[in-house]
Amino acid sequence: MATELQKIPLRQVKDVKGLLFNENARAQLAMVAAHHMKPERLMRITANAIRTTPKLQQCDPLSFLGALMQCAALGLEPNTVLGHAFLVPFKSDQKGITQVQVIIGYKGLIDLARRSGHVSSIHAGVHYSDDELWDYEEGTEARLRHRPGPQQGSKLHAYAFVKFKDGGNAWTVLPWFHVIRIRDASANWKSAVKYNGTKSSPWVTHEDQMAMKTAIRAMAKYLPLSVEMADAIAIDHDGGTTTDFAAFAMHPESGAVIDGKVSDDEVATESAARPDDMAEGQPGGAANPDATAAADEITKTKPAKKKDAKDEGRDPMVQKYRPLIDEIIATMTDGAPPHATRDFYADGIEAMHTDAPELHAELMEHFVAFESEADDQ
């Protein structure tokens, strides 16, 4: 199957999984990727993304490729534990297809700000009523000091602070009612309210992170922006815009084109909260059998024979060890050396070998694939 898909023109690739094996897709990625982003690694990240977020497989393949290319151009790895960027399925009733949009995480914005060459440090935070210290004043005695406490009280402010290499600094402090006003005005939140999806909205599941990102975006006007950060802010789906990534996939020399504002007829089909769970170091969830097979083929391993998905879901050993496998794969995808990862998870791997030999064999195939990639580098 992989051989058949390698030469197919991009417009004829039928699904997202087909991109994993397509040489034209790799060539487009190589054309735009930042110098530290290798197409082979991006393909592995792609395989992991569609395994942990199965609804990405339902997206328009050119839209998916263009979104991945945009992340590569920004030098941000999507859907990894770094939390830099996320590929999110987004259904457009107006166009009748499910597209992919890019959400830039607050950690991604911080990384891009540092690349400007003018910033020595940048961070963001949330001020709670029970914090140990909050000292904030504007004017001639301007200052900002914060020492977190239990953080179980009321949320009062979100802020972002930057120190420049020339010794200067700047900050932005947003009262909490201002943060909520920005949230309520956003198209994503309006869609979540309209479609009864607020419980899974990142504004509910990861409110602090969204508030910190809001503060960083507000502070961006004070920063000497790199081209990458300016582009990231422009295409960030959280900012209420949609981008024609399918066009970018075919004509990267023209740059990504902002398609318009998010309308009430468009809604995320899977919340960005799930990738944010990965950003906090949590396992990515149970694997999708089809996407796992694609990941196995792209890493040139022979996939272990798998049970029926329903039977596998009821298997207590799968429920016990699948999260561990996902966490180990995510750790190595993030760049951890295979031998160090094996040592770190040695106890769990040994227990898996005893309790679930088939799952252990599957994990060993992933180790072999990652070790082979490390040797190639």
100 and 239 belong to one structural domain = yes
Which has more confidence, 74 or 47?
74
- 3-state SS class at 119: strand
20 and 157 belong to one structural domain = no
Helix then strand then coil, in percent of the chain rounded to 5, is: 55, 15, 30
Structural domain contains residue 204: no
pLDDT (mean) for 47-55: 82
Q: In angstroms, rounded to a whole number, what is the distance separating the alpha carbons of residues 314 and 298?
A: 28
146 and 214 belong to one structural domain = yes
pLDDT (mean) for 95-118: 85
Under 8 Å between Cβ of 159 and 127? yes
Reported as a single tens digit per residue, the pLDDT across 7-37 is 678 888 888 888 888 888 888 888 888 887 8
pLDDT at 94: 65
pLDDT (mean) for 356-364: 89
Structural domain contains residue 97: yes
CA 316 to each of CA 24, 85, 227, 352: distance values in angstroms, whole numbers, following the listed order: 42, 33, 49, 12
pLDDT at 306: 42
pLDDT at 205: 86
Q: Which tokens in the block code for residue 174?
A: 């947003």
88 and 6 belong to one structural domain = yes
Structural domain contains residue 192: no
Structural domain contains residue 195: no
82 and 127 belong to one structural domain = no
41 and 179 belong to one structural domain = no
Structural domain contains residue 287: no
Structural domain contains residue 13: yes
Evaluate the CA torsion angle 32, 33, 34, 35 in order and state its sign. Answer: negative
Tokens 């272990």, residue located: 304
38 and 182 belong to one structural domain = no
Q: What total of structural domains would you count in the chain? A: 3
Q: What stretch of H or E contains 174?
A: strand 169-175
Reported as a single tens digit per residue, the pLDDT across 207-266 is 999 999 999 988 887 777 778 888 888 888 776 678 889 888 888 877 777 765 555 444
DSSP H helical segments within 268-315, as ranges? 273-279, 289-298, 309-314
Lowest mean pLDDT among 27-36, 99-108, 278-287: 278-287
The pairing of beta strand 119-128 with beta strand 97-104: unpaired
Q: Which tokens in the block code for residue 375?
A: 């040797």
Lowest mean pLDDT among 53-62, 89-98, 336-345, 357-366: 89-98
pTM higher than 0.85 for the full model?
no
127 and 217 belong to one structural domain = yes
Query: Confidence class of residue 334 from pLDDT cuts 50, 70 and 90?
Result: low
Lowest mean pLDDT among 41-55, 166-180, 289-303, 315-329: 289-303
Query: Confidence class of residue 280 from pLDDT cuts 50, 70 and 90?
Result: very low
133 and 159 belong to one structural domain = yes
Domain span holding position 158:
117-187+210-223
Which has more confidence, 177 or 280?
177
Q: How far is CA 9 from the centre of its chain?
A: 27
271 and 306 belong to one structural domain = no
Structural domain contains residue 291: no
Q: What stretch of H or E contains 6?
A: helix 2-6
